[in-house]
Amino acid sequence: MKKTLPYLIVSPYLLHLALFVLFPVVFSIVLTFHKWNIIAPMEYVGWGNYWRLFNDRLFWKAILNTFQFLLVHIPLQIVIALALAYFLNQKLFARGFFRASFFMPVVISGVVVTILWQQLFGLETGLLNRLLINMGLGRVEWLSNPNLAIVSIAIMATWKNVGLYVILFLVGLQTVPKSYYEAAEVDGASSWQQFRYITFPAINPTFFMVVILSTLGGFSLFIEPYIMTDGGPLNSTLSAMLYIYKQAFGYYHMGYSATLGLFFAMLIMMVVAVQKYAIENDE
């Protein structure tokens, strides 16, 4: 075998890496110091874009909205996924059917799910409000109340993704040998104690994975508010990604949107690192 052969084999990847990953990372840093609409020549603005970012109230609002989304989405997702996985982890009739139906929305495009839920959330004829009225309760302004709209979107996102986390928890739960529970039973441990000292440690790695994956998913929240609310009402569902998109492709502020993208990516990496640290040092 020739010495150059391995390099020849990895060369398509290296070319791709250089072009679509390494160059963009370097170029995005260059862009943050410039003002540019692609057509006119680039204009050097020093730290101008960074100053603008720190004083951009709408951007901070979008970051806050994104965190609000995560704050509802992650706990809801974990509780429901864990409960459903727990129910599924026993001898059951039609277990495969339940598993497959929970997983169904995971494979369907977010575009379909959003168009569907826009209808479910409808004020007058939406299925949810019709259900509430039939139960003798009042209407809910799912998407038109600025305090509620981001929560509604978080509920929808949970419905879409929870099936994946059910499967992940189920894999985690199945790693615990049955004999552990039997032994605990003999020693007189309560169900809560069994959960706390046997189940929980076993699914701890899954727990970590679920938090990281749904954090990353939540930070890329874009198409749901884009279709449903266009960021409204009163910018209450403007996600960070939607704001970056609008700056770049609505106003062609390339330098500024690159600055927002870089800053936001740093924030994501920091949040994930903090979560990693917190979970690993939990015990």
Partner 1 sequence: MGVFKPYKFILYVLLGGAALSFLYPFYWMILASLTPEAQIGELGVAPKGITWDNYAQMAGKIPIWRSLFNSVIVAGLSTLGVLIFGSTTGYALAKLPFRGRNMLFFIIIFTMTLPFQITLIPNYILMVKFQWIDSLAALVVPALNSAFAILLFRQAFKSIPDDLIHSARVDGCGELRIIFQIIWPNIIPTIITVGILTFMNSWNDVLWPLIVIREEKLMTMPQLVTLFAVGGRAEAQLGVKLASAVVLALPIIIAYAIFQRHFIQSMASTGLKG
Of residues 244-263, those binding partner 1 (CB under 8 A): 244-245, 248-249, 254, 257-258, 261-262
Coil vs helix vs strand at 44:
strand
Query: Under a CB-based contact definition with an 8 Å cutoff, are residues 213 and 70 in contact?
Result: no
Alpha carbon distances (Å) from 239 to 29, 75, 94, 182, 243: 23, 19, 40, 48, 6
Site for partner 1 in 155-194 (CB under 8 A): 159, 163-164, 167-168, 171
Q: Does 207 bind partner 1 (CB under 8 A)?
A: no
Residues 6-35 binding partner 1 (CB under 8 A) are 6-7, 9-10, 12-13, 16-17, 19-21, 23-25, 27-28, 31
Helices (H), 22-56: 23-31, 48-54
Does residue 79 belong to the site contacting partner 1 (CB under 8 A)? no
Least Å distance between CB 93 and partner 1?
8
Output the smallest distance, CB 34 to partner 1, in A: 11
Q: Measured from the CB atom, is 127 or 147 closer to partner 1?
A: 127
Q: Segment 212-251, which members bind partner 1 (CB under 8 A)? A: 212-213, 216, 219-220, 222-223, 226-227, 230, 241, 244-245, 248-249
Identify which of residues 206 and 236 has a Cβ nearer to partner 1 in the complex: 206
Question: Tokens at residue 113, please?
Answer: 């799910």
Residue 151 Cβ, how far from partner 1 at the closest point, in Å? 18
Tokens matching residue 208 = 């970590």
Amino acid at 57: R
Min dist. Cβ of residue 13 to partner 1 (A): 4
**Contacts to partner 1 from residues 121-160, by CB under 8 A:** 124-125, 127, 159
Q: What is the DSSP string of 65-133?
A: HHHHHHHHHHHHHHHHHHHHHHHHSS--TTHHHHHHHHHHHHHS-HHHHHHHHHHHT-SSS-HHHHHHH
Amino acid at the residue 162: V
CB distance 170 to 88 below 8 Å? yes
- Given the complex with partner 1, which of 147 and 174 has the nearer CB atom? 174
